[in-house]
Amino acid sequence: MRTIDHIYINGKFVKPHGTEVMDIINPANKEVIGRVTLGDEQDTRDAIAAAKAAFKTFAKTSIEERAHMLQRLHDVIIEKFDLLNEAAVEEYGAPAAATAGRTMYAAKNFLHNLDVMKEFQFEKRIGKAKVSLEPLGVIGLITPWNANYTHISTKLAPAIAAGCTVVIKASELSAIQTQVIAECFHEAGIPAGVINFVNGRGDVVGAELTRHPDVAMISFTGSTNVGRIIARDGAATMKRLVLELGGKSPNVILDDADYQKAIPLAVMTAFSNSGQACHVGSRLIVPEHRLEEVKQLVIKTVEGIKVGNPWEEGTFIGPMVSQKQYETVQHYIHLGVEQGAELIIGGSGHPEGLDNGYYVKPTVFANVTMDMTIAKEEIFGPVLSILSYKTEEEAIAIANDTIYGLSAYVSSSNLERANDVASQIVSGRVLINGLYDEPKAPFGGFKQSGIGRECGIYGLESYVEPKTILGHDAVPQ
Ligand code: NAD
């Protein structure tokens, strides 16, 4: 049983002013495994004040000093690798193997940003002007529960590289993971006040960060609905914003694809991170004349997927993070049936023998049309919709018929054709014939999937503001 009754401000773990206590529940068995005392507005203001004070000196640190810090932040994650993974499996319910991959990704984020920072031109000449790219100031980092360490590191690493100080508000559902990573960062020896953590509710701590005049930017990952609130409330103080929001990503399978490979991969893509990921390909778009074959391949793949205890080897889908998320997924499964989609596997309720946790059945609907709610809204669980098309133009139109534009997938045996289709899909990322990552390439969304980009040079640029100086080399008369 973990008791988390400290937040991290100005280099110290301190008792919060807030007094609300929340249970932390293991989603795999619904047992209470901890209690967290949530911070409040006062705690948030204290953390912002510490970050503001630290910014004065941190903004002036050299590239070499910050390179050392980024290296240390990487190293402490590696040192505490097992502890971090354990916390993620227990508190979030993510299958262990996937968790380890994500923790490693979090560590590497610091090294990728170190490389980017070394090559970044913090000062440029444009004509007669000297343009310096200055750190923005105090940044509020607000993250969701579905990959706690990844989101924190994706935002923290460029902030450090740029010379910004931060207040981190992770999800209230990730309190144990946040505590463990805060302890790691404490050991990294970063100057006091540069990194601060406040546990708390979004509408309390997140809202205070959003409206506080001393916070220059909010870097947020989460739902499109909350992104809208942050954009609206941040406008009063002209907050800079990076918003990484929801998705309803299309997976277009062209008629010449290798279906034996493409369809199992499409199912895995839809159900990765137990379906609780922003980039999952939750709309599988297939040629009408191959629909029956697709359905059989999908059923066969889903039957082979292991759902269950996240610690067990081979588990691909763990429980949903919370009772609320379990209910959300059930709600969408009911809607799918009600609105006339064809349920080909899965359905409502728990998988057999797994009613002790927030487990759902991996579920697939065929004959889904774009007017159905399950085709439009992000479900954030292992529910896949199959839509069919007659022509390639129609496939592209279906892919783009969404308010989102975060990720997309295309399969074809003809690369030229696949690239042509990819170029017509309105999406921040398009993956062709497989799953790849390039951690220094921009990540983010078109349309209502967000504003701005993370990762690599595009990510770092969000944390600096250009200042133009003219006459810097003029000889005084
Ligand atoms: P959420 O939007 O409910 O919460 C995200 C964070 O925002 C949490 O820390 C929460 O406490 C905080 N928050 C809530 N209300 C707030 C407010 N009024 N002001 C400021 N902060 C507030 O999202 P979630 O349920 O934690 O995560 C799931 C969502 O995250 C999905 O929609 C998913 O698509 C999105 N997501 C996006 C990406 C991406 O990179 N685009 C990655 C992962 C998750």
Q: What is the pLDDT of residues 386-407, one digit of tens each?
A: 999 999 999 999 999 999 999 9
Q: What is the pLDDT of residue 71?
A: 98
Active site residues: 244, 278
Q: What is the pLDDT of residue 333?
A: 98
pLDDT 10s digits, 173-211: 999 999 999 999 999 999 999 999 999 999 999 999 999
- Are 47 and 149 in a shared domain? yes
Which positions of the chain have pLDDT values less than 70?
Answer: none
- Map residue 306 onto helix, strand or coil: strand
What Cα–Cα distance (Å) separates residue 85 from each residue in 53, 79, 241? 33, 12, 30
- Are 331 and 192 in a shared domain? no
How many A from CA of 209 to the centre of ligand 1? Answer: 14
- Are 229 and 269 in a shared domain? no
pLDDT 10s digits, 113-148: 999 999 999 999 999 999 999 999 999 999 999 999
Answer whether 219 contacts ligand 1 (Cβ < 6 A).
no
- Are 424 and 293 in a shared domain? yes
- Are 310 and 234 in a shared domain? no
Q: Which of 38, 40, 41, 142 to mutate to test the pocket of ligand 1 (most atoms within 8 A of CB)?
A: 142
- Are 261 and 239 in a shared domain? no
Ligand 1 atom showing the smallest separation from residue 201 Cα: 11
Q: Please indicate, yes or no, if residue 86 is contained in any of the structural domains.
A: yes
Rounded CA separation 388/407 (Å): 19
Q: What is the mean pLDDT of the chain?
A: 98
Q: 355: closest CA among 307, 301, 303? A: 307
Ligand 1 atom showing the smallest separation from residue 223 Cα: 32
CATH of the domain at 261: 3.40.309.10
Strand 429-432 versus strand 342-345 pairing type: unpaired
- Are 171 and 201 in a shared domain? yes
Which H helix or E strand runs over 431?
strand 429-432
Q: Please indicate, yes or no, if residue 476 is contained in any of the structural domains.
A: no
How many A from CA of 279 to the centre of ligand 1? Answer: 14
Q: Please indicate, yes or no, if residue 474 is contained in any of the structural domains.
A: no
Answer whether 244 contacts ligand 1 (Cβ < 6 A).
yes
Q: What is the pLDDT of residue 428?
A: 98
Spatial CB neighbours of 416, under 8 Å, sequence gap ≥ 6? none
Q: What is the pLDDT of residue 477?
A: 77
Q: What is the pLDDT of residue 404?
A: 98
Which amino acid is present at 306?
K
Answer whether 181 contacts ligand 1 (Cβ < 6 A).
no
Q: Please indicate, yes or no, if residue 440 is contained in any of the structural domains.
A: no
- Are 207 and 82 in a shared domain? yes
Q: Please indicate, yes or no, if residue 313 is contained in any of the structural domains.
A: yes
Q: Please indicate, yes or no, if residue 452 is contained in any of the structural domains.
A: yes
- Are 338 and 368 in a shared domain? yes
pTM of the complete model beyond 0.95:
yes
Domain ranges, residue 110: 2-245+445-469
Q: Please indicate, yes or no, if residue 437 is contained in any of the structural domains.
A: no
pLDDT 10s digits, 415-434: 999 999 999 999 999 999 99
